[in-house]
Amino acid sequence: MAAPKQPRSNSFKKLQGFLRSRVGQAIHDYGMIQAGDRVMVCVSGGKDSHTLLDILMHLQRRAPIPFELLAVNLDQKQPGFPAEVLPEYFEAIGVPYRIIEQDTYSTVKRVIPEGKTMCGLCSRLRRGILYRVAAEERATKIALGHHRDDMIETLFLNLFHGGRLKAMPPKLLTNDRRHILIRPLAYCPENDIARYARYREFPIIPCTLCGSQGNLQRAQIKQMLQAWEKQWPGRADNLFRSLQQVSPSQLADPDLFDFGGLEATRIVPTEANLDDTVTDLEAEFNPAQALFIEG
């Protein structure tokens, strides 16, 4: 298998520069990669993980600090999985790699009733195996291919179905404190990643080989966000920025903000400071936000 082509069109170069810049900025903003890191890049064969590996290999060649990359794919023995595709691809692009073969497919089929989605259990089993491999390979970081839209969708899934204000962080320490997960595509829109993958002609392996339907709830959220973005371009960027600009005092979590302690910091209004209070409120007033902000 030959390495993916490098189109010469200006539109591709502009897109490539945009994605590389976004990935580099995310790595910088969240301190994702440090000198001497061994980064295990999880490659499923989909457009996102292919793009992630491709951009990280480029940054590795130009980064001011040295770090290693190890591409890892988990062959879960799904019927029809083309086991030869990714090893041949990794050889062609010259990246160190490891293929793990473990039949989680049979386990999931045995546990999940017919007709029910298998994605949840499959994901948990896959995560456990990848954590084990990361320890074996002495990887200091585990890079995942989640992008901006995945993170926004997860926010709404938790809001609508979990009753929690929670999304995917760009960088995460696992509960056992043994692994650090990074998501370098955090600033990258899915549509741009899809365009990039088409330009590069990556050997895409679909995630539907098991015959399981995709997460219906996530698909509904995706459709909602796509409709919003079509009607109000730029809304997805605003939603993501909201994840970066959190005001705990304007929410309602007493574990996150000390509402009970507000009395201790209150300044009792007097005639002497009343004029100052009015002036401060006038200075803070933003007409553009007046319809949306309380407090």
Burial 204-235, CB ≥16 within 10 A → b, else e: ebeeebbebeebeebeebbeebeeebeeeeee
Phi and psi angles of residue 171, each rounded to the nearest 5 degrees, phi first: -145, 135
**Would 278 be classed as within a structural domain?**
no
pLDDT (0 to 100) of residue 213: 53
**Would 126 be classed as within a structural domain?**
yes
d(CA 202, CA 50): 7
Burial 36-64, CB ≥16 within 10 A → b, else e: ebebbbbbbbbbbbbbbbbbbeebbeeee
280 compared with 121, residue with greater pLDDT: 121
Confidence of residue 258 (pLDDT cuts 50, 70, 90): very high
Residue 181, domain CATH: 3.40.50.620
Phi and psi angles of residue 178, each rounded to the nearest 5 degrees, phi first: -100, -20
Position 292 pLDDT exceeds 70: no
Position 214 pLDDT exceeds 70: no
**Would 96 be classed as within a structural domain?**
yes
pLDDT tens, 11-38? 999 999 999 999 999 999 999 999 999 9
Tokens of 131: 């954590």
Write out the residue range of the structural domain in which residue 86 sits.
10-244
pLDDT tens, 236-254? 999 999 999 999 999 999 9
**Would 260 be classed as within a structural domain?**
no
d(CA 61, CA 267): 57
Position 156 pLDDT exceeds 50: yes
- Number of domains making up the chain: 1
**Would 271 be classed as within a structural domain?**
no
Spatial CA neighbour of 197 closest among 147, 155, 153? 147
pLDDT tens, 196-212? 999 999 999 987 655 55
25: CB partners within 8 A, 6+ apart: 187
d(CA 239, CA 256): 21
pLDDT (0 to 100) of residue 127: 87
Confidence of residue 102 (pLDDT cuts 50, 70, 90): confident
**Would 285 be classed as within a structural domain?**
no
**Would 254 be classed as within a structural domain?**
no
The position carrying tokens 């490659």 is 43
Whole-model pTM: value is 0.86
277 compared with 152, residue with greater pLDDT: 152
Answer yes or no: are the C-beta atoms of 186 and 146 closer than 8 Å: yes
